[in-house]
Amino acid sequence: MKFVPSLVAVAVAVLTVGTANAQDYPGTKPVTFVVPFAAGGPTDRVARDLAEAMRKTMPGGNFTVENAAGAGGTIGANKVAKAKADGHTLLLWHIGMAATPGLYRKLPYKPLEDFEYLGLVNEVPMTLLGKPQLPANTYRDFENYIRANSGKLNIAHAGLGSASHICGLMWQHAVKLNDSMTTIPFGGTAPAMTNLIGGQVDVMCDQTTNTTSQIEAGRVKAFAVTTAKPLSNHKLLKDYPTLQEMGLKGFDLTIWHGLYAPKGTPEPILKKLNDAMKLALKDPEFIKKQEGLGAVVVTDKRMERAEHKAFVAAEIAKLKPVIDAAGKFAD
């Protein structure tokens, strides 16, 4: 007579295998951070620094980084939303997780339902930059030059819904120069930066993790930072005014980065990853690297999974009216 296992027996078997996998996690299979932008940009930078720190805090974790660019980061995000929920494919993404719902009418995933939230990592200021030949040396000159050349200049970004795109939208809206510049999308702000340095594009707003070294080397011009408070603790960035100081009331943009897994990843694996991430955020080497690039590593409750998710839900609600006012749909 053929043995037909009961449903209970099958469920126990599946759970046992799942738990066994969780206990053996990560095993030898790589743990991939999917970065939804081209290599060499600010998001990629955060991912590589965090992967290096988590190799120490989750011994045996073979952390790698994979770049999956396009559509302002939503292609990479969707890749992870649809990935196997086994803890080996994670998403390292930024404010785009909360900005894209306001810019894309048809996202292929649901931000608050299709991911497990593994914690917030850091917060990064942005800088408003010009190509080296731009005839301006102060923010005032910069704004006057853009105004005097409305319709003739371009601004680079990393795709609709990217942080660089959001920053450009918010800045143009704040100075009442909406649609005054042609936007030039790239797969990330690393290729965009190459074009800014080369003078092929005129302006870009990007995260200090990508711009600090270029500003220091004099390869681009910087005019302001996007945070509400001056970056007084940073040896280079302290010399640049905030946009609020330049009269843009309430302008305050900081780019946060979070870590995500596909929905349904087993609880023991999620706990292991969140524990390792929280330890990595306390790693003096990781902190030193991030602070050297103007970033602030998260030290509050948002490094916890539930608080990370609540924060992103609040950011989605906060950004929607800002994007409605400043931008237009990306799809």
Which one of 32, 43, 67, 227 is in contact with ligand MLT (CB under 6 A)? 43
Residue corresponding to tokens 């990370």: 308
What are 205's strand-pairing partners?
128
Closest CA relative to residue 47, chosen from 66, 61, 28: 66
- In this structure, are residues 96 and 255 in contact, taking their beta carbons and an 8 Å threshold? no
Residue number, 31 or 167, with CB nearest to ligand MLT = 167
Q: Cα(304)–Cα(275) distance, rounded to whole angstroms? A: 9
For position 61 contacting ligand MLT by CB under 6 A, the verdict is no
Report in angstroms how near the CB of residue 204 gets to ligand MLT at its nearest.
9
Residue number, 32 or 189, with CB nearest to ligand MLT = 189
Residue number, 276 or 319, with CB nearest to ligand MLT = 319
Report in angstroms how near the CB of residue 39 gets to ligand MLT at its nearest.
9
CB count within 10 Å of CB 2 equals 3
Region from 185-193, 222-230, 267-275, 303-311 binding ligand MLT, contact rule CB under 6 A: 185-193
- In this structure, are residues 297 and 286 in contact, taking their beta carbons and an 8 Å threshold? yes
Copy the structure tokens of residue 246. 């330049």
Closest CA relative to residue 139, chosen from 170, 147, 294: 147
For position 164 contacting ligand MLT by CB under 6 A, the verdict is yes
Closest CA relative to residue 162, chosen from 48, 75, 86, 241: 75
Which one of 81, 190, 196, 330 is in contact with ligand MLT (CB under 6 A)? 190
Per rule CB under 6 A, count of chain residues that contact ligand MLT? 16
For position 162 contacting ligand MLT by CB under 6 A, the verdict is yes
Residues of this chain that interact with ligand MLT (CB under 6 A) are: 37-38, 41-43, 96, 157-158, 162-164, 188-190, 206-207
